[in-house]
Amino acid sequence: MDRPAVRVAGFGFRAAATEASLTDALARAGGPTGLTALAAPADKAAAAAITALAARLALPICPVTADALHRPATPTRSAQSLARRGTGSVAEAAALAACGEGARLLTPRKVSNDRMSTCAIATKDLP
């Protein structure tokens, strides 16, 4: 029998990113099937693109604080992300932080075709 799990798609995106850009990054990361939430940096969690995606998928958005983005180790090491956000990958860190202690990445970050957004998916089994 399958154990219940939390499955979160974390996003990093530019201010000009559209819902289509986030949708493309999510599709590249594995798609929305089985997701329980979306996650983004707290200062972008109310952006139009992610709120539109969340509404379409009927999923909550987990805002991730800057401090929480610094905690998870990420396999991707983007120099730009390190300089701006203090993490190797905003998408990976957001997904891991939103899932909580013991989370693991299902997919490393994937970049949208227009290069405006990234998405990574993390999961954690529930007790």
User: What pLDDT is stored for residue 3 in this prediction?
Assistant: 63
Domains in the chain, CATH or no CATH each: 5-125 (3.30.420.180)
Residue that the structure tokens 């529930």 belong to: 126
pLDDT digits (tens, 9 = 90+) for 16-69: 999 999 999 999 999 999 999 999 999 999 999 999 999 999 999 999 998 888
Contact criterion met (CB below 8 Å) for 66 and 46: no
pTM of the model: 0.92
**Residue 67, number of CB atoms within 10 A of its CB:** 10
